[in-house]
Amino acid sequence: MRTEDLEQLEIDLLLEGVYRRYGYDFRQYARGSLRRRIYKRVLDERVASISSLQERVLRDPQAMERLVLELSINVTAMFRDPTFYLALRTKVVPLLRTYPFIRVWNAGCSTGEEVYSLAMLLQEEGLYDRTRIYATDINERVLQRAEEGVFPLDKMRGYTENYIKAGGRKAFSEYYKAGPRGATFKRDLIENVVFAQHNLVSDRSFNEFNVIMCRNVMIYFDKALQNHVHDLFHRSLINFGVLTLGRKESIKFTSHENCYEAIDGLERIYKKVK
Ligand SMILES: C[S@@+](CC[C@H](N)C(=O)[O-])C[C@H]1O[C@@H](n2cnc3c(N)ncnc32)[C@H](O)[C@@H]1O
């Protein structure tokens, strides 16, 4: 057997073991980044091979927790891709104004920077009071951090720049208090937010939404899993509901390509039309 095939087999067995032992299903995540992440665990856990990592993870739930953290890449930022938020403000907000009540699903919200950004935008547009945001992620740890709402102070300068480029209407510093633990964001921003664990691979839809925001999550999934998630989103959106994806993602070439029209193709903002 070639080395690459053996490696493939070891990865398959690790993922199958993780699924059967813990119920976390990473079997359809894109292989390239999965492989890099698994090797990082092999190094950090100081084991000799992927098979040895498998043994450790199956016997030691804490090693499993570390693996989940590694595989569920949590990189995020406030007002990430500012022009996306600007487009949201100018092209989606007018549509949202027509609804008496707005339900948003922020899927794969990570540590919450996206949720806080959205809440600020909706507050400034006078829509937050009639909005409920369901912020979900596979990883419980990041959800706890999102709920705490304390973010590193050294990020605030970059976030302020993003906020301005995104069309922010206030001084960004009005939204947080600087302290020894970091920048603590105002609690009223998450007054209408429900944080919950939800796995896009195995869990079902739980409501009907006006907006689904799932950015930089499906990029880590293989094609079949992406289509599975698109099916879930399509069933969870109301007619003319809005779907937003990450900059490197697209509705094109997915199973649901024909169900959406672009509101802003460059910013990956789509409207469900059938
Ligand atoms: C790179 S972050 C993106 C965060 C944010 N949406 C953004 O664009 O800045 C990807 C997030 O997807 C979450 N994720 C990965 N697999 C998931 C799954 N199967 N179900 C739900 N969330 C998942 C990860 O835990 C991580 O927090």
Q: Which tens digits make up the pLDDT trace of 250-268?
A: 999 999 999 999 999 999 9
Calculate how far, in angstroms, residue 1's C-alpha sits from the geometric centre of ligand 1: 35
The confidence score (pLDDT) of residue 228 equals 97
Predicted TM-score of the model (pTM): 0.95
Read off the tokens for 18.
Answer: 């993780």
The confidence score (pLDDT) of residue 169 equals 96
Q: How many CB atoms lie within 10 A of CB 95?
A: 16
The confidence score (pLDDT) of residue 133 equals 98
SS3 content of the chain, % helix, strand, coil (to 5): 50, 20, 30
pLDDT digits (tens, 9 = 90+) for 40-84: 999 999 999 999 999 999 999 999 999 999 998 899 999 999 999
Quote the DSSP letter at residue 205: -
The confidence score (pLDDT) of residue 136 equals 98
Domains for the chain: give ranges and CATH numbers: 3-71 (no CATH), 82-272 (3.40.50.150)
Read off the tokens for 32.
Answer: 């390239």
The confidence score (pLDDT) of residue 256 equals 96
> Measured from the CB, is residue 110 less than 6 Å from ligand 1?
yes
Calculate how far, in angstroms, residue 73's C-alpha sits from the geometric centre of ligand 1: 7
- pLDDT-derived band at 1, boundaries 50, 70, 90: confident
Alpha carbon distances (Å) from 10 to 14, 63, 146, 181? 6, 17, 34, 42
> Measured from the CB, is residue 142 less than 6 Å from ligand 1?
yes
CA 250 from chain center: how many Å?
Answer: 15
Q: How many CB atoms lie within 10 A of CB 209?
A: 24
> Measured from the CB, is residue 106 less than 6 Å from ligand 1?
no
> Measured from the CB, is residue 217 less than 6 Å from ligand 1?
yes
pLDDT digits (tens, 9 = 90+) for 177-214: 999 999 999 999 999 999 999 999 999 999 999 999 99
Residue carrying the six token digits 């999934």: 221
Residue carrying the six token digits 């304390």: 150
C-alpha–C-alpha distance, residues 263 and 149, integer Å = 31
> Measured from the CB, is residue 200 less than 6 Å from ligand 1?
yes
Residue type, 58: L
The confidence score (pLDDT) of residue 72 equals 86
Minimal-distance CA residue to ligand 1 atom 12: 108
C-alpha–C-alpha distance, residues 91 and 94, integer Å = 6
Among 134, 151, 217, residue to substitute to test ligand 1 (most atoms within 8 Å of Cβ): 217
42 contacts 49 by C-beta, under 8 angstroms:
yes
Counting residues of the chain whose pLDDT is more than 90, the rounded percentage is 98
- 17-48: string of b/e by CB count within 10 Å (b at 16+)? ebeeeeebbbbbbeeeebeebbeebbeeeebe
> Measured from the CB, is residue 72 less than 6 Å from ligand 1?
yes
pLDDT digits (tens, 9 = 90+) for 213-243: 999 999 999 999 999 999 999 999 999 999 9
Calculate how far, in angstroms, residue 5's C-alpha sits from the geometric centre of ligand 1: 29
pLDDT digits (tens, 9 = 90+) for 115-163: 999 999 999 999 999 999 999 999 999 999 999 999 999 999 999 999 9
Read off the tokens for 22.
Answer: 């813990």
Q: Would you say how long the chain is, in residues?
A: 274
> Measured from the CB, is residue 246 less than 6 Å from ligand 1?
yes
C-alpha–C-alpha distance, residues 101 and 148, integer Å = 26
